[in-house]
Copies of this chain bind each other. A is one copy, B any other.
Amino acid sequence: MNDQFLKACRMQETDYTPVWIMRQAGRYLQEYRDIQKTADFLTVCKTPDLTVDVTLQPVRILDVDAAILFSDILTPVEKMGMKLQFIKGKGPVLDPPVTSMQAVERLGVPDPEDDLPFVLESIRILRGELEGKVPLIGFCGAPFTLACYMIEGETSKDYSGAKRLMFQAPHIFTALMEKITETISVYADAQIRAGVQAVQFFDTWAGLLSRKDYSRYALPYIKKAISYVKKKHPKVPVIYYINGSATILDLMQKAGSTVIGLDWRHDLDTAWQQLGNKVAVQGNLDPCTLFLPQDELKKRVRDILKKAGGQPGHIFNLGHGILPATPRENAIALVEMVHKMSRKKGA
């Protein structure tokens, strides 16, 4: 099997820099859009045959060094007891928004085997399909980011409604965070037991918090979830990603992940240095640069590889999810560039 990704997570020497792309199974691929013509997003998430198909597409088309389970961070939230819909042009809608202690108390902690069997089945099938190819990554939303969606009920530019509840009614907010933490802890554990070989926690919106508030309202919960997973599966790499982590990078590191996912605003060398080079890093090309002509894109890729300096422990990725309008050929070229430019002589 191609174990370059897992080796990089563990900061071991690799033959070249492994690369995968956040949201690599997505609308920028015609093959994905073809499947979406016959089944909507949630149906694809809940039908193992379709989940497997779209998960494998980028492995085949892009030659990435890892597959990531096709799913959504809100899948377990639906099973906590919220009504989940994806509305065209609007995105996810969770109904009704959680704003009271009673609403928090009504939420359950889903049992993955009973409530999310389609996820675990997809993972089992995928491991079979991927045997001898590349590792499979599982994922969850991190507590703060899930709480943002659950309180707002939809996407928001600043999640000020969620932060308002956090400030006005911290007992409700923290009760919700506890319940989410329990949910994602057992969910990540179940994904690993079903076969994923690494797990990524997406904390997309935690970058909206000041240092004080991240320390108080986000860090303790994600740290608890990561500890839970690491205790049960000490050898399984955990990746922790925040969008806009510049002012909280040192705090983020305290969550204890194996790999830190960096957004594109960081200079990778500066950020890695700030982390004391003690942890692997993943990132961090601006997804919008995939619109550049390929000769310009190549310079950007080279720049990031140069900043990583060939040190063990760099996984190439975008700094945020790939955009639906991305030219497919540039995504393919990106993976090829990373492989070619980073290959060690003689390897």
A positions within 8 Å CB-CB of B: 155, 157-158, 160, 163-164, 166-168, 207-213, 244, 246-248, 264-267, 286-289, 291-292, 296, 303, 320, 323, 325
Copies assembled: 2
CB distance from A318 to the nearest CB of B (A): 12
Given contacts A157-B157, A323-B160, contact A267 B292 (CB under 8 A): no
Which chain B residues lie closer than 8 Å to A160 at the CB level?
287-288, 323, 325
Chain B residues near A266: list those with CB within 8 A. Answer: 247
Q: Chain A at the B interface: mostly helix, strand, loop or mixed? A: helix
Q: Whole-angstrom distance between the alpha carbons of A286 and B211 in the complex? A: 11
Q: Given the complex, which residues of B lie within 8 Å of A155, measured CB to CB?
A: 157
With A167-B292, A168-B291, A247-B266 known, 8 other A-B pairs at CB within 8 A are: A160-B325, A163-B288, A164-B288, A167-B289, A168-B292, A246-B246, A246-B247, A247-B267
Known pairs A155-B157, A168-B291; A267 contacts B163 (CB<8 A):
no
Q: A155 to nearest B CB, angstroms?
A: 7
Q: How far is the CB of A300 from chain B (nearest CB, A)?
A: 8
Q: How far is the CB of A240 from chain B (nearest CB, A)?
A: 18
Q: Offer 20 A-B interface pairs, CB within 8 angstroms, sorted by A.
A: A157-B157, A158-B320, A160-B325, A163-B288, A164-B288, A164-B291, A164-B325, A166-B288, A167-B288, A168-B292, A208-B265, A210-B264, A211-B265, A211-B267, A213-B286, A244-B244, A244-B265, A246-B246, A246-B247, A247-B267
- Cα of A267 to Cα of B250 in the assembled complex, Å: 13
- Find chain B residues with CB under 8 A from A303 CB: 212
In Å, the complex CA distance between A168 and B292 comes to 6
Chain B CB within 10 Å, residue with most, of A158, A210, A287: A210
**Complexed CA–CA distance, A313 and B254 (Å):** 34
Residue of A244, A248, A287, A303 with highest tally of chain B CB at under 10 A: A244
Q: Which of the residues B168, B213, B265, B323 comes within 8 Å of A210, measured between beta carbons?
A: B265
